[in-house]
Amino acid sequence: MKRALISGITGQDGAYLAKFLLEKGYKVYGTYRRVSTPNFWRLQSLSIFNKVNLVLADLIDMSSIIEAIKISQPDEIYNLGAQSFVGASFMQPLGTTEITGIGVARFLEVIRQINPEMKFYQAGTSELFGNNKEGAQNEESPFCPQSPYAVAKLYGHWMTKVYRDGYKIFACNGILFNHESPLRGLEFVTRKISNAVAKTAVGIQNELLLGNLEAMRDWGYAPEYVECMWLMLQQEEADDYVIATNEMHSVKEFAEKAFDVVDLDWQEHVKVDKRFFRPLDVPSLRGDYSKAKLKLGWEPKMGFEELVKTMVTEDLHRWERWLNGEKFPWDAPNYPEEAMILTRTLRM
């Protein structure tokens, strides 16, 4: 039985990857940070919370990484742990650097010293390309990061290549473009939209405040993308891959399609608020997954409109369940604004 260690197992990708690996027959370990409010709702919602082995660790604490690897004895390590919200990285640049950037070096150095035979996957990001002017970005496109998050990820990307080339560690960078799902965090614009549309449909919200409506992204479906992480570590040689859909859609289009799901006009509810504009923004990102198609045999399956519908439908289902008095794992109670709405709803 193969063994895998996933840092950031409580996140969207970590939870989906854990489910995928369990179905492949792996024994799955996952690291999590001790926080005041436990964040296991994704694992619970996928019905795998009792099937994974959780290990307390933190990417800023090398000794805890060593302990996690000694406990799990993994064949494969998937480093998905990060401060992954671009907006927050402008407010926490040093923390983002420590976790998202230097945390990668800590993992790689532990692998080098303990067992260089372990395979390593590093979660990259399309934000590495930033204001790259090419029509579509592939593995050869130049990087031009536009946020502390992207700069930290770039450090992790190059350290992964250095350890692969310098120490012959099987280490891969997955340069994943935006990938969404009903398990996305509420701070991300896609889930912010789908959640707001659901609340509007059930009558507890009427206005959605967004930033740059013209920003364009290549949006895919997260459960499909985690398969690529696994595929990369099954190849004979370690390499880097762009994972994307080759399509690009604007935030405005996402909002329009989301409100269409519940037969509402997006223009009656969406307002632009400059507070949500970033100090530096990336106007557009579109990936070219040709290499992944050729070498991994992978192609995206879920289209843009189906993705939007899937997210809105699930959030609508959650709010309807809540209003009917059901208790179930979800993330809304962990966010102050959502918690206030839930509290008011209970008093009604």
CATH number assigned to the domain comprising residue 340? 3.90.25.10
pLDDT for residue 347 is more than 60: no
Same domain for 64 and 154?
A: yes
Q: Is the domain of 94 the same as that of 149?
A: yes
C-alpha closest to that of 185 among 340, 335, 16: 335
Catalytic site positions:
125, 127, 149
Q: What is the pLDDT of residue 336?
A: 84
Give the containing element (helix H, strand E) for 325.
none
DSSP H/E element including 223: helix 222-232
Based on the fold, state whether residues 205 and 123 are members of the same structural domain: no
Q: Are residues 155 and 207 in the same domain?
A: no
Would 153 be classed as within a structural domain? Answer: yes
The pLDDT tens digits for 261-299 are 999 999 999 999 888 777 777 888 999 999 999 999 999
Q: Is 59 part of a structural domain of the chain?
A: yes
**pTM recorded for the entire structure:** 0.95
pLDDT tens digits along 22-34? 999 999 999 998 7
By residue range, what is the domain housing residue 315?
189-217+249-283+303-347
Is the same domain home to 25 and 163? yes
For residue range 60-110, list pLDDT tens digits in order: 999 999 999 999 999 999 999 987 667 777 888 888 888 999 999 999 999
Looking at the fold, whether 146 and 59 belong to one and the same domain comes out as: yes
Amino acid 42: pLDDT = 97
Asked if pLDDT for residue 348 goes beyond 80, the answer is no
Q: Are residues 237 and 132 in the same domain?
A: yes
Please check whether residues 32 and 107 belong to one and the same domain.
Answer: yes
**pLDDT for the residue numbered 131:** 81
Hey, what's the torsion of the CAs at 262, 286, 228, 52, to 10 degrees?
Answer: -50
Structural domains counted in the chain: 2
Mean of all residue pLDDT scores within the chain: 93
Residue 316 covered by a domain: yes
Whether residues 261 and 165 share a domain: the answer is: no
